[in-house]
C-alpha cells in the first residue's frame, strides 16, 4: 500500500483526484492540503464525498513525507516551491503547466514570463501515457498535460507522428466547458453572463499550442493553428481538427493507421458509425470517465480530413490522466481505479 498526498485539494482537479484515489485499491490517501480550508472536513468543499472519507484539509506546513505527491496547484506555484515538494516524496506528478514544456524559450513564448526553475524542465516526463508510456513508467517526475492539449494530441498523434501524414496545415477548433476555468469565479463565469454563451476566448496563440507542437512537431514540420471557444457545458472538451494533406487519402488508409497506433490502448475508443446521434464523439457521455473518444470523416476527394476527439477535461484532461500516470509509476495495472464507463442518459 502506497501513501499518497494531494497538494491543492480544494479545486475541481484536486477533488477529482481525491474521488479517484479513495476508490483505488493500492493507495492510502495520507493528506490533502488547502490553505483556504485547512482544518475543515473535505466534504465541506466536495459534497459528493460525504461519508467517503473522514479526512480534513491540512496546510502546506503540516505536510509529511509520502510515497507519491500529486500537485494540483495554480500555475506557477509548483515551480516556485519545488524544493519543498521534492523533499517530501521520491515521485511527484504536477498537474499544472509549470513543467510541461521542455524549453525555457518556449515557456517564455507561451506563458509570457521567464521560468523560475529552467534547469528542472528536462527532469519531467510529459504525462500522456499513449505518447510517453515507457518514459512515464520509469519517471520520478511527471508533468500532467493540459486538457486542450491532451484532446488535440490524442486526436492527431496517429496521423502526424513519425511524419506519417504530410500536411499543408492543420486547424484545431476546441469547444470547452466552464470547469476548465477552475472553481474561482470571475466576471466571465457569472451565471447570467456565462449561461447560453458561445464565446471565443482564445482564437490564436493559446498556451496549450506549445504542448501540441512539442509532441506533434514544430511549425516548420506541421503548421498547426488552435482556437478555443467556451460553450454552455460544465465538463468536457470537443476538438474538431481540420487536416489538409499534401496528397489525397483514402478512408482505408486512415482506419489502418489509427487502429495500428491505438488498437490496444485501454482508454482510446474509436467511434465511427454510419448513423445515429452518437456516430461521432460526444463529450457529454464521457463525464467522469478517463476515455478519449476519437472519430473522423474524410471528404470525397480525400483532400480534407476532419478528426474529432472528446474527453472530460477534469478526467482524461487532468485527474484521470494523472492517476493513469501514477499507476504506471507505481507498478499498478494502468486501468486501476479508472474503470468507470460513464452514464447514459445524463
Report DSSP letters for 272-310, one per residue. Answer: --SSSTTSS--GGGGTT---EEEEEEE-TTSS-EEEEEE
Cα maximum dimension of the chain: 63
Q: How many CB atoms lie within 10 A of CB 62?
A: 11
Task: Measure the CA–CA gap between 241 and 255, rounded to whole angstroms.
Answer: 16
Task: Measure the CA–CA gap between 310 and 284, rounded to whole angstroms.
Answer: 9
The three-state secondary structure class of 142 is: strand
Q: What are the grid coordinates assigned to 306, written together?
A: 476532419
Q: Which residues are CB-neighbours of 152 under 8 A, at least 6 positions away?
A: 172, 174, 208, 212, 226, 239, 241, 309
Q: Between the CA atoms of 228, 254, 154 and 222, what dihedral angle is there, to the nearest 10 degrees?
A: -60
**Parallel/antiparallel/unpaired status of strands 292-298 and 305-311:** antiparallel
Q: How far, CA to CA in Å, does 58 sit from each of 66, 136, 280?
A: 15, 29, 44
Active site residues: 147
Q: Check: CB of residue 159 under 8 Å from CB of residue 215.
A: no
Task: Measure the CA–CA gap between 144 and 7, rounded to whole angstroms.
Answer: 14
**Parallel/antiparallel/unpaired status of strands 68-71 and 125-127:** unpaired
The three-state secondary structure class of 8 is: coil
**Packing angle of the helix pair 129-138, 147-160 (nearest 10 deg):** 100
Name the phi and psi angles at 245, rounded to 5. -70, 155
Q: How many CB atoms lie within 10 A of CB 90?
A: 13
Q: What are the grid coordinates assigned to 269, written together?
A: 475508443
Amino acid at each position: 500500500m502506497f501513501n499518497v498526498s494531494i497538494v491543492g485539494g480544494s479545486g475541481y482537479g484536486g477533488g477529482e483526484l481525491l474521488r479517484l484515489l479513495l476508490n483505488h485499491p493500492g493507495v492510502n490517501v495520507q493528506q490533502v492540503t488547502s490553505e483556504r480550508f485547512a482544518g475543515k472536513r473535505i466534504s465541506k468543499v466536495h459534497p459528493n464525498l460525504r461519508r467517503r472519507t473522514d479526512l480534513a484539509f491540512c496546510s502546506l506546513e503540516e505536510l509529511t513525507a509520502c510515497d507519491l505527491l500529486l500537485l494540483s496547484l495554480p500555475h506557477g506555484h509548483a515551480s516556485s516551491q519545488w524544493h519543498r515538494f521534492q523533499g517530501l516524496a521520491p515521485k511527484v506528478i504536477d498537474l499544472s503547466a509549470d513543467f510541461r514544456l521542455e524549453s525555457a524559450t518556449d515557456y517564455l513564448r507561451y506563458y509570457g514570463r521567464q521560468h523560475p526553475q529552467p534547469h528542472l524542465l528536462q527532469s519531467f516526463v510529459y504525462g500522456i501515457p499513449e505518447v510517453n508510456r515507457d518514459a512515464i513508467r520509469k519517471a520520478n517526475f511527471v508533468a500532467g498535460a493540459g486538457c486542450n492539449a491532451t484532446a488535440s494530441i490524442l486526436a492527431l498523434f496517429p496521423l502526424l507522428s513519425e511524419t506519417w501524414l504530410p500536411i499543408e496545415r492543420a486547424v484545431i477548433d476546441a469547444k470547452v466547458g466552464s470547469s476548465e476555468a477552475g472553481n474561482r469565479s470571475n466576471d466571465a463565469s457569472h451565471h447570467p453572463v456565462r449561461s447560453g454563451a458561445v464565446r471565443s476566448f482564445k482564437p490564436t496563440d493559446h498556451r496549450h499550442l506549445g504542448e501540441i507542437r512539442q509532441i506533434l512537431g514544430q511549425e516548420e514540420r506541421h503548421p498547426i493553428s488552435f482556437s478555443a471557444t467556451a460553450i454552455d457545458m460544465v465538463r468536457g472538451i470537443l476538438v474538431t481538427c481540420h487536416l489538409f494533406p499534401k496528397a489525397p487519402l483514402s478512408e482505408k488508409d486512415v482506419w489502418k493507421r489509427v487502429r495500428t497506433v491505438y488498437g490496444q490502448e485501454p482508454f482510446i475508443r474509436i467511434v465511427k458509425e454510419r448513423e445515429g446521434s452518437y456516430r461521432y464523439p460526444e463529450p457529454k457521455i464521457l463525464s467522469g470517465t478517463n476515455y478519449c473518444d476519437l472519430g473522423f470523416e474524410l471528404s470525397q476527394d480525400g483532400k480534407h480530413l476532419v478528426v474529432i476527439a472528446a474527453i472530460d477535461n477534469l478526467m482524461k484532461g487532468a485527474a484521470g490522466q494523472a492517476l493513469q500516470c501514477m499507476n504506471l509509476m507505481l507498478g499498478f495495472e494502468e486501468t486501476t481505479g479508472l474503470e468507470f464507463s460513464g452514464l447514459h442518459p445524463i
